[in-house]
């Protein structure tokens, strides 16, 4: 092997390792992956561990997105809503789902409380304000989450009686921020 061929091989190997290790690589997502090797973070939200298993921004998914989230005892999501369907599968632990089914009024209103537990599943309808809370004092709550229409645009509420018009849009969401790129406008 001559020097030019060896240099090309080394550069190609370095590029492929760098491309695979980048959390923003949408090209080359392997068919089979080890979840324990995927990037995870709390994204500045103490008590949360989030892994994007398959995402629109990170992996080029178009119709669905899959997350693995673990909440330590006492941790919770913010009160929020989004214009996508969301399915949860509780892998371990227990907690409480708060769901405001009157979200189509001027504000979410008093939510209904639903106990969730290992091997339970639940769905969040489009545009219904909700919050997931690990109310178990002794065990982590781990959920697999599937959302439609990614990437998710989230409206965050300070409380259940905050008007919808005052909710704060968070887009891109925490785990998409690093990799989200707006498309450039094609101007002549």
Phi, psi of 6, rounded to the nearest 5 degrees: -65, -45
- Helix (H, G, I), strand (E, B), or coil: what is residue 6? helix
Rounded Cα–Cα distance for residues 93 and 136 (Å): 7
Is 130 flagged in the annotation as binding? yes
Rounded Cα–Cα distance for residues 136 and 73 (Å): 6
Is 86 flagged in the annotation as binding? yes
Angle at 56 between CA 54 and CA 61, to 5 degrees: 70
DSSP per residue, 36-101: GGS--B-TT-TTEEEEEEE-HHHH--SSEEEEEEEE-TT-BPPEEEESS-EEEEEEE-EEEEEEET
Is 164 flagged in the annotation as binding? no
Is 80 flagged in the annotation as binding? yes
- List binding-site positions for Zn(2+): 80, 82, 86, 130
Binding annotation: 80, 82, 86, 130
């Amino acid at each position: 092997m001559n020097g030019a061929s060896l240099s090309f091989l080394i550069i190609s190997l370095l590029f492929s390792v760098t491309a695979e290790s980048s959390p923003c690589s949408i090209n080359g997502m392997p068919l089979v992956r080890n979840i324990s090797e995927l990037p995870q973070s709390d994204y500045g939200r103490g008590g949360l561990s989030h892994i994007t298993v398959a995402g629109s921004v990170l992996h080029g998914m178009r119709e669905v997105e899959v997350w693995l989230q673990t909440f330590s005892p006492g941790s919770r999501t913010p009160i929020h809503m989004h214009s996508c369907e969301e399915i949860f599968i509780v892998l371990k632990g227990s907690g409480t789902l708060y769901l405001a089914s009157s979200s189509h009024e001027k504000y979410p209103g008093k939510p209904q409380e639903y106990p969730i537990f290992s091997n339970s599943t639940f769905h969040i309808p489009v545009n219904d304000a909700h919050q997931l809370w690990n109310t178990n004092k002794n065990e982590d709550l781990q959920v697999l989450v599937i959302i439609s229409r990614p990437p998710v645009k989230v409206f965050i509420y300070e409380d259940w009686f905050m008007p919808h018009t005052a909710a704060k849009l968070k887009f891109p969401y925490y785990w998409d921020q690093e990799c989200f790129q707006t498309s450039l406008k094609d101007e002549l």
